[in-house]
Structure 1
Amino acid sequence: MTVSARPDARRNASPYLYGPEAEAIARVLEGGQYGHTDITEEFERRIADFLSVPDAVAVASGTAALHTALLAAGIGPGREVIVPSMTFCATVMAILAVGATPRFVDIDPATLCVSDQLVMDALTDKTAAVMPVLFGGRPIDLSAIQEELDERGIVVIEDAAHAFGSRHDTRRVGANEAVLTCFSFGPIKNLTCGQGGMVIPRTPAEADTIRRIRLLGVVQSQGERANTTSYRVDSFGLRYQLSGLNAAIGLVQLDAFQAAEDTRRHLWRTYCDALAPLDGVTLVDLDVDQAVPHLCQVRIPHRDAVFADLRSRDIGVGVHYPPNHTQPAFAAWHRFLPATEQAGQEILSLPFHQHLNRTDIDLVVAALEQALKSVGGL
């Protein structure tokens, strides 16, 4: 029997809106202020409250969050940033944007994330920062080496693009005051603003620096500039503000986040149950009791052939991600990373978004079983 995909199973990922987002955007449009507004500042306060942190600084994207965090931490030319190769290329591009050098590090095969020992083994006298990637939403604990990193003056900047809502024990990701945390609120993230990002600073001074960077180095706020004939630019900056339109979407999403959290965990566990009978298929562990899942990934034999077979059946599989150290743009920093390279040949992302239901998941798993049999993987 050939599996025929339902519409939701044809998409690997998909934005999920709750309904009030359109009304929220309309109110911003009616107000006539579309850029950085008090709505943006309300969104920052609400995110800070949600995470139980003193402050949160909204920016235009997750990539902007990483770039701004690196700038605020003083990372620049001649310095290295330890980063897993297994991540979206945006992580690496942010490092290059400040003139620093990526030092690619291998991953734990079970989690697709870095570990404290892998980080320690990769340190050099040029290391200025460590950028762990919370892959798929999985929280990472580097607390065992935090003191040593602090003694060496090495800052930890978490790429938590996948991990909004996930927890380190009882605290949400972002609540560790020892690290800079960067979130993405892109279209398919656990919480979306349409496009946007957030930096969780460690100190009030760091928050001020990040706010200045995101506003082109201008000292005065928009309201203050309206009441003067001039303004002062005292540092480098970029136009990285989050618009009120995007923040309005984010506020609606934040109000509904508990539903997103529950649904994504339920879908991941449903996949776990459905995949259990398939020999030769390994579900990448996310520690779902702590993580709010962003991806559902398996490791399989004959991945490329299975990918092509499933695509021919209209099943929306994907690959997250081709290892960066094998990309032409990053060839100068290539290192031999055996676990990453093996995973790069085996990982397959199954359709995972809040439009799915049990019927969709059963269909996807049945199609995966057929594909594996057809290419000799079962």
Structure 2
Amino acid sequence: MPASSISTATPDAVRRNARPYLHGPETAAMAAAVEAGQYGHGPQADLFEQELAHYLGVPDVVAVSSATVGIHLALQACGVGPGTEVIVPSQTFAATIQPIVALGAAPRFIDHAPGTLCVEPQAVREAITPATRAVLPVLYGGRPVDLSAIATELRSRNIHIVEDAAQAFGSRRTDQPARTTVYSFGPIKQLTALVGGAVVPRSGQEAETLRQMRFLGITSSQTDRIRTTTYSVRGPGLRGVLPDINAAVGRVQLARFNEVAALRTALWKAYAQALHGASGVALVDAGEDAVPFNCVVRVSGRDRVHRIMRDRGIGVGVHYPPNHLQPAFAQWTRPLPVTEQAAREILSLPFHPAMTPDDARWTAGALLDALAGRSAQ
């Protein structure tokens, strides 16, 4: 569609960058969970864990209250703490970094690849120090990150991989190094439980450790605790369980996840086709194996384009300002030229399953008009 053919009327679906997508039965599932009277981790959460494991083809899944909590617990379980470092990209949400700092460790920020905004093995290798305890790759936009090229080196140094896959539920995975993977089920994720997350552990022992840690280090289950006169606290922990009400929503979402994945894929393809070959705009590649979480482009004069499109009521955004330049993490700042250049150019276009391919094509046309300095026709 020629850019000049767009109308002045902004479709309702593109007024927001993202929005929750519910199928309808979630409300009834929540009501049933409320009526059952189990508001902490209960039967719905147990079933959700089992169904997630089956869908992902893994032995076990540990549900948690958020991906942030999941990252915190996974890092702590592999020995991250004072005196250690975690290699992590700066280009991510602050939720990736705060657990590192909360554990008393140091984030060692690295650059990402320009075309994907994801880290590559060589950048990780160059950042390793004697204090490195973990690598925390971020699957930006849903794109899998493969660190198999340095797997042997990481293993020999006892460096663990903990993936921030908050944006990557459903993305296809190839054989990769042993890793712990953390998903988010927040409001606008590919699969939502309204809030929540899950950890895919590397082993049964790690699963047991995570289950203990997600409930304050207490070793016995809630069912067992109410049947006895005491319980045992054996180690560190947080209150990080996923409530049954949220698990009930997640189960409804999981049952229809393939539908959402198809909608997101079709939307991504519509954007890619509409922007193919366009001057002055580069689409950040999510890869063929991703269930896309967002649609991010790189444009010159980003702030001007952002302002023009927001003035038109189009829900563009920026995901995310780099963390190595944030005041809270200033003591770990180091030069990251690729990240800093991308930070001046990235723009997130409206992207959620309530949009249609026509909405994507309309938004692409509006973007091209903004880049050309044209007014809406």
Fold-level similarity (TM above 0.5): yes
Amino acid at match of 2:270: T
Name the count of aligned residue pairs: 370
- Note the C-alpha offset of 1:375: 8.1
- 2:145 is matched with which residue: 118, 140, 143? 140
1:113 correspondence with 2:103: no
Unaligned runs of 5+ in 2: none
Amino acid at match of 2:241: Q
CA distance in 1, matches of 2:278, 2:115: 18
**8 Å CA contact 2:280, 2:371 repeated in 1:** no
Alignment match, 1:297: 296
- Note the C-alpha offset of 1:331: 0.8
Alignment match, 1:12: 17
Amino acid at match of 1:48: A
1:353 correspondence with 2:376: no
How high is the TM-score relative to the length of structure 1? 0.96
**8 Å CA contact 1:3, 1:367 repeated in 2:** no
**8 Å CA contact 1:3, 1:363 repeated in 2:** no
1:338 correspondence with 2:343: no
**8 Å CA contact 1:298, 1:347 repeated in 2:** yes
Q: Find runs of 4+ consecutive structure 1 residues off by over 3 angstroms.
A: none
Amino acid at match of 2:37: G
Amino acid at match of 1:364: T
The answer to which of 155-164 and 232-241 deviates more is 232-241
CA distance in 1, matches of 2:305, 2:232: 58
Residues 375 and 333 (structure 1 numbering): CA distance in 2 closer, same or farther, change over 3 Å?
A: farther
**8 Å CA contact 1:3, 1:366 repeated in 2:** no
- Note the C-alpha offset of 1:277: 4.7
Secondary structure, in 3 states, of the residue corresponding to 2:108?
Answer: strand
- 1:25 is matched with which residue: 27, 30, 52? 30
Percent same amino acid among aligned pairs? 52
Alignment match, 1:323: 322
Amino acid at match of 2:104: G
Secondary structure, in 3 states, of the residue corresponding to 1:254?
Answer: helix
Residues 82 and 177 (structure 1 numbering): CA distance in 2 closer, same or farther, change over 3 Å?
A: closer
Aligned counterparts, 1:225-264, within 5 A: 225-264=225-264
Alignment match, 1:285: 285
- Note the C-alpha offset of 1:359: 2.7
The answer to which of 314-323 and 231-240 deviates more is 231-240
Deviations 1:236-261 (A, max 9, x none): 11100000000000000000011111
The answer to which of 299-308 and 269-278 deviates more is 269-278
- Note the C-alpha offset of 1:278: 2.2
- Note the C-alpha offset of 1:177: 6.7
CA RMSD between the two structures: 1.3
Deviations 1:110-143 (A, max 9, x none): 1110000000011111111000000000001001
1:84 correspondence with 2:89: yes
1:152 correspondence with 2:141: no
- Note the C-alpha offset of 1:279: 0.9
Amino acid at match of 1:257: F
CA distance in 2, matches of 1:224, 1:89: 37
